Amino acid sequence: MAYVAIADRGQALHDPKTWIGKYVWSQDHKIIAIQYGGTAMVVGLVALVLSGLMRLQLGFPDTFSLIDPTAYYQFITMHGMIMVIYLLTALFLGGFGNYLIPLMLGARDMVFPFMNMLSYWVYLGSVIVLLASFFVPAGPTGAGWTLYPPQTILPGTPGHDWGIVLMLLSLALFIVAFTMGGLNYITTALQARTRGMTLMRMPLSVWGIVMATVLGLLAFPALLVSAIMMLFDKLLFTSFFMPALVSAGENLSYSGGSPVLFQHLFWFFGHPEVYIVALPAFGMVSDVLAVHARKNIFGYRMMVWAIVAIGALSFIVWAHHMYVSGMNPYFGFFFATTTLIIAIPTAIKVYNWVLTLWRGNIQLTVPMLFAIGFVFTFINGGLTGLFLGNVTIDLPLSDTYFVVAHFHMVMGVSPILVVFAAIYHWYPKMTGRMYDETLGQVHFWLTFLGTYAIYYPMHYLGFLGVPRRYFAMGNTEFMPDSAHLLNSGISIAALFVGVVQVIFIYNIIVSIWKGKPSGHNPWKAASLEWQTPDTPPHHGNWGPDLPEVHRWAYDYAVPGAKDDFVAQNVPYDGTPGTKVEA
Amino acid sequence: MSILSKITAKPWLQDQGVMDEYGPWDLPPAKLALGWLIAALTVMFCLFGLAYGIRMDTGDWRPLNEPGVLWLNTVVLVMCSLAFQAARSAARKEQAAQLLLALGLGGVLTIGFLLGQWFAWGELDKAGYYLTSNPANAFFYLLTALHGIHLIGGLLVWTRATFRVMRGTDIADVRLSVELCSTYWHFLLLIWLAIFALLLAT
């Protein structure tokens, strides 16, 4: 029987009839992707401003009266939570996942368009609830992004009344939104692929996004469980996490709860969350590197298996975030071992990226610069992870700036570099226009060098023992004047990098109107999203007929081919240049 | 083609690119999505179970006496599941009257189960087992509430499917909804049996 894609099995496409139907209550995956991406970037800018305020305090203590300890802890908390959940998770999965999955797999849309639309609006609701906490009495919670009890809901912690409740409600809403989106991403990838799009012909971007979605569906419940139980402790005075306490001379009604239980639940979500962000980044950077090096990705199957292995292993390493909480030494040994094992598939990916570049026809376009910048940064961040994965090294370093430097390199800067690479790479497909190349290059070099000016010295501060989470260092014996000076330098670099992002925003907004027309496939890329009949793709993506896929997404520099790439939908017809020899 | 063959395929080789053998599974997307939702919910309830076990060991745990009505509620929920299974069977055989009867019975029994759970809460409250007085009580209220909320969510889908059957929609068009409802109810029965067993055993 001839294969009929699910998208074409009598399913109506619901063409939008009105402007509001097309751009606001849209069920088109491309519009929803842009809604998700736009919202994530706006809320990410809020988090960026918060980090600038924190750096002002750390670099120039006792200078800015508006930043008191309460505000500082609120900035830390909101910065961390927004960046990890509401920016990176939402942008990679809601943004790029929505845009790329149907286009890369030859589908007309997600399989549940209405639920997809609902997912975005619930996500927007979660963002609004979160940001509303800036305007309630006592402001947002200042408990740190990990929200550890008991301090999170005790008097004395900023935002212990309204702020924490709004944070937990917002997280619950986000999880509902993610679940609706995630069911779409997985089901679309498994069931709506076009004819010939086998699992092993899927681009690595899709593999990364789908595996991250699987992780999210299995890990976010842990965050939901801990959020629900903490809400009960906060609002109904149960004692799931709250031990017996005396606060300000008063015996509180709590008794017997286990704060460490919360930590286990939180990190059972928290560590997979690292890979929920990293795996889509791994996938997308692989595609960008292959296209701009004009070479097939090295070790495609290994890359796929490494994504799956990293995803599976990410569920058995969580307690390495809790070495300082104290645990049975055998436990520590187990988690240190699993943590180091995860370095193996990760290293496979890094080697394969490097080998993809090896003797490639490297085009130093803006997306390629960001992609190479990612490889550098991820290696740096990964190497310090090897230090921190070991119990004995983690214990003295855990509460220092070394950890801040590590996780920002590996989980902040690295994925953000991929976000930029991906936006520049797919911008022509999304808008039909090219961005300004010069502004893009300036943006890359200032951002890349700027972030290294921030985070390299921070490792040194960590080695000195400078503690993280402190509002002000004061006069301490162990911190030489040079360290204080370094702190000021880091702050200047951070503010500089923050301001530089204006170039990016200006470039992507102005280029929508002023950019040169890009054509359908400016990068001469082989994957399916570049083969649409219209750019930007119209509703339904493919015109009357879905494409058929005849090869993988990485046929670059094929011997004997007319061009230096062969698109996925070009059949093997026996003519020279279309057949790839074993 | 087995999943192993699929993931060991070499996509760069022409002779491994047999187009029609590589298509998606012959499964409605909604069934697959429900499967993933059930996986996520299973993780959630398992984590609650783990938290229950860990919290039990912290010294202040006083087990509650489960009210007898929970046994009756369990029987009602088993009957719910049977009713939905009957609805599934009627939909497959395209028997409209039986389908409506079984769907109606499933929904009414579900509402009965929820009222029974509410009654159990009242019994515990009268007996002095308040939410805050002990973690065992808190877990009881929390787990039963979450389970109930999931049933109420299922009732929303059930309402839509039942109205469609009442309006005379072609049975072929509602069969999938009925099958999804029955799978979901079976799942929630298993979850309840696990919760109830945990409560009785501790």
Domain B37-201 matching CATH 2.120.10.30: the answer reads no
Q: Cis ω on the peptide bond leading into residue A536 (within 30° of 0)?
A: yes
Give the pLDDT confidence of A339-389 residue by residue, as tens digits: 999 999 999 999 999 999 999 999 999 999 999 999 999 999 999 999 999
Tell me whether residues A261 and B11 touch, CB distance under 8 A: no
Residue with tokens 């970037």: A41
Q: What is the pLDDT of residue B21?
A: 54
Q: What is the pLDDT of residue A582?
A: 34
Residue A433 forms beta bridges with which residues? A517
Residues of A in contact with B43 (CB under 8 A): 218, 221-222
Between A15 and B110, the more confident residue is B110
Q: How many CA atoms lie within 13 A of B167 on its CB side?
A: 9
Tell me whether residues B29 and A229 touch, CB distance under 8 A: no
Q: What is the pLDDT of residue A568?
A: 93
Give the pLDDT confidence of A84-127 residue by residue, as tens digits: 999 999 999 999 999 999 999 999 999 999 999 999 999 999 99
Report the candidate in A171, A34, A221 with the shortest Cα–Cα distance to residue A116.
A34
Tell me the average pLDDT of chain A: 93
Tell me whether residues A187 and B132 touch, CB distance under 8 A: no
Tell me whether residues A225 and B60 touch, CB distance under 8 A: no
Minimal C-alpha gap between A56 and chain B (Å): 41
Give the pLDDT confidence of A406-438 residue by residue, as tens digits: 999 999 999 999 999 999 999 999 999 999 999
Residues of B in contact with A572 (CB under 8 A): 14, 17
Q: Can you tell me the distance from the alpha carbon of A424 to that of A507, in angstroms, rounded to the nearest whole number?
A: 10
Minimal C-alpha gap between B191 and chain A (Å): 15
Q: Which of A218, A240, A257 sits opposite B40 (nearest CB)?
A: A218
Q: Which of A228, A238, A258 sits opposite B132 (nearest CB)?
A: A238
Q: What is the pLDDT of residue A578?
A: 46
In total, the C-beta contacts within 8 angstroms joining chain A to chain B are 152
Q: Can you tell me the distance from the alpha carbon of A181 to that of A98, in angstroms, rounded to the nearest whole number?
A: 8
Residues of A in contact with B177 (CB under 8 A): none
pLDDT at A146 over 50: yes
Q: What is the pLDDT of residue A13?
A: 65
The answer to whether A398 and A388 are in contact (CB under 8 A) is yes
Q: What is the pLDDT of residue A20?
A: 84
Per-residue b or e along A542-555, where b marks 16 or more CB atoms closer than 10 Å to that residue's CB: beeebbbbbbbbbb
Tell me whether residues A232 and B47 touch, CB distance under 8 A: no
Q: How far is CA A6 from CA A119, A186, A189, A546, B37, in A?
A: 22, 14, 11, 11, 20
Q: Can you tell me the distance from the alpha carbon of A279 to that of A286, in angstroms, rounded to the nearest whole number?
A: 11
Mean pLDDT of A289-299: 96
Mean pLDDT of B49-68: 91
pLDDT at A1 over 50: no
Tell me whether residues A3 and B41 touch, CB distance under 8 A: no
* Residue of B1, B19, B37 for testing the chain A interface, max A β-carbons within 10 Å: B19
Q: What is the pLDDT of residue A84?
A: 97
Longest dimension (CA), chain A: 86
pLDDT at B16 over 80: no
Length of chain B, in residues: 202
Burial degree of A167 (CB within 10 A; 0-12, 13-18, 19+): buried
The set of long-range contacts for B158-167, using a CB threshold of 8 Å and a minimum separation of 24, is: B158/B103, B158/B106, B158/B107, B158/B110, B159/B107, B161/B103, B162/B100, B162/B103, B162/B104, B162/B107, B165/B96, B165/B99, B165/B100, B165/B103, B166/B100
Report the candidate in B186, B181, B188, B184 with the shortest Cα–Cα distance to residue B164.
B181
The residue in chain B having the minimum alpha-carbon distance to the alpha carbon of residue A221 is B44
Other beta carbons within 10 angstroms of residue A220's beta carbon come to 27
pLDDT band at A2, cuts 50/70/90?
Answer: very low
DSSP annotation of A102 reads H
pLDDT at A150 over 70: yes
If interface means Cβ-Cβ distance under 8 Å, which residues of chain B face chain A? 6-15, 17, 19-20, 22-25, 27, 29-30, 32-33, 36-37, 39-41, 43-44, 47-48, 51, 54-55, 58-61, 131-132, 135, 138, 142, 146
Residue A247 forms beta bridges with which residues? A250
Q: What is the pLDDT of residue B20?
A: 55
Degrees, nearest 5: CA angle A312-A315-A319: 145
**Domain ranges (residues) in chain B:** 37-201
pLDDT at A227 over 60: yes
The ipTM value here is 0.94
pTM of the model: 0.95
* Residue of A190, A200, A214 for testing the chain B interface, max B β-carbons within 10 Å: A200
pLDDT band at A3, cuts 50/70/90?
Answer: very low
Other beta carbons within 10 angstroms of residue A65's beta carbon come to 6
Mean pLDDT of A233-257: 91
The answer to whether A425 and A350 are in contact (CB under 8 A) is no
For a pLDDT cut of 90, what percent of chain A falls above it? 86
Q: Can you tell me the distance from the alpha carbon of A354 to that of A294, in angstroms, rounded to the nearest whole number?
A: 14
Degrees, nearest 5: CA angle B186-B189-B192: 155
pLDDT band at B10, cuts 50/70/90?
Answer: confident
Q: Which of A2, A239, A261 sits opposite B51 (nearest CB)?
A: A261
